[in-house]
Amino acid sequence: MTQELIVAVTAALIAVVVLFVGDHLRPNTWRHTSDESSGTLVLDLIKTFFTAVVAFVVVVCWQQFQNAHNHTVAEAKGLVDTYWAAHSMPGPEHQRIEGLVRDYTNQVVSQEWPMMNHQGHMSQAAQSTLNTLRDAVTAVHSTDPAVTDQRSRALASLDRVEQARQDRALDLGHTVPTFLYVALLFGTVLILLNPVLSGVRVSWRSMLMTALLGVVIGSALLQIYNLDRPFRGSIVVPTDAFDYALSSYQQIS
């Protein structure tokens, strides 16, 4: 933070020095009789800065949101592959593993998703079910090469599920870097102060336009805040991948 402050102050001093030096070097015909042009220049700079920061933050938030969704898709695909592998195993193992896969998927959809949204952490019960599922697959022993191949396939699929689950846990804590929020707040303050610094006369028209400006800025900041938390708030990663997995289980059975 100290480095950013030093750079900002230094840049401001350089800009002022350039202005004074340039004022003595430029022809008199280039000079304006009022400072309105400087106000227009600053306004254009503020709008450009605010738009650039908002666009950059939105891209970062959307990328985080897409990554989180891709991790849920990878997790659901791994569960479906595990279910397929269990379908070719002997009777008792076949039923137990399939049942555990269904239990885990249902727990993720019905318990873990609301828990991530409201409490901000993963479900220990779902993790316990996943551990039990891996133990059940590991306990399968057979001299039949086909069963051995399906066991290896199921373990490989569970590795992908666990990796995707870990990624989902990391996604739960990801957020936009603090310096971007500081830049966004700074740009917002400048935009809101611009009518005052520009000397806009207070009237019904100016008040209405300022109110509309506040609505636009407030709505943009709210959507950024919601996108910044892929599993919390009003805009969350859907459970469509796990819902599709549950329907796939029925088709396989």
Q: Are residues 65 and 3 in the same domain?
A: no
Domain that holds residue 24: 1-31
Q: Averaged over 144-149, what is the pLDDT?
A: 82
pLDDT at 212 over 70: yes
pTM: 0.75
Same domain, 139 and 76: yes
What is the spatial distance between Cα 194 and Cα 199, in angstroms, rounded to a whole number? 9
Percent with pLDDT over 70 in the chain? 81
Instruction: Give the pLDDT score at 174.
Output: 79
Neighbours of 193 (CB within 10 A): 11
| Whole-number pLDDT of residue 109 | 93
Long-range contact list for 235-241, CB < 8 A, 24+ apart? 235/65, 236/113, 236/117, 237/65, 237/68, 237/69, 237/72, 238/69, 239/72, 239/108, 239/109, 239/113, 241/69, 241/72, 241/73, 241/75, 241/76, 241/77
pLDDT at 77: 94
Number of domains the chain contains: 2
Whether residues 238 and 130 share a domain: the answer is: yes
Q: Give the integer Cα–Cα distance in Å for 98 and 83.
A: 6
The mean pLDDT value for 37-55 works out to 74
Same domain, 23 and 55: no
Alpha-carbon gap, residue 144 to 88, rounded angstroms: 11
Quick one: 24 and 102 in the same domain? no
The mean predicted confidence, pLDDT, of the chain is 81
**HEC letters along the chain:** CHHHHHHHHHHHHHHHHHHHHHHHHCCHHHCCCCCHHHHHHHHHHHHHHHHHHHHHHHHHHHHHHHHHHHHHHHHHHHHHHHHHHHHCCCHHHHHHHHHHHHHHHHHHHHHHHHHHHHCCCCCHHHHHHHHHHHHHHHCCCCCCHHHHHHHHHHHHHHHHHHHHHHHHHHHHHCCCCHHHHHHHHHHHHHHHHHHHHCCCCCCHHHHHHHHHHHHHHHHHHHHHHHHCCCCCCCCCCCCHHHHHHHHHHHHHC
12 and 119 part of one domain: no
pLDDT band for position 162 (cuts 50, 70, 90): very high
What local confidence, expressed as pLDDT, does residue 47 receive? 78
| pLDDT of 186 over the 60 cut | yes
Residues 1, 97 within the same domain: no
Q: What's the mean pLDDT in 102-127? A: 92
Mean pLDDT, to the nearest integer, of 7-21?
63
**Same domain, yes or no: 1 and 92:** no
> Given this model, what pLDDT does residue 88 score?
76
How open is the CA angle 112-118-123, to the nearest 5 degrees?
A: 25
Q: Decide if pLDDT at 39 tops 60.
A: no
Q: Is the same domain home to 27 and 99?
A: no
pLDDT at 167 over 90: yes
The mean-pLDDT minimum among 2-6, 40-44, 132-136, 190-194 falls in 2-6
In this structure, the chain runs to a length of 253
Tell me: pLDDT of 19 over 60. Answer: no
Give the separation between CA 57 and CA 184, rounded to whole angstroms.
Answer: 8
pLDDT of residue 72: 94
What's the CA gap between 227 and 175, in Å, rounded? 9
> Do residues 83 and 197 both lie within one domain?
yes
Query: How is residue 33 written in tokens?
Result: 């009789």
Q: Are residues 229 and 239 in the same domain?
A: yes
Do 20 and 102 lie in a common domain? no
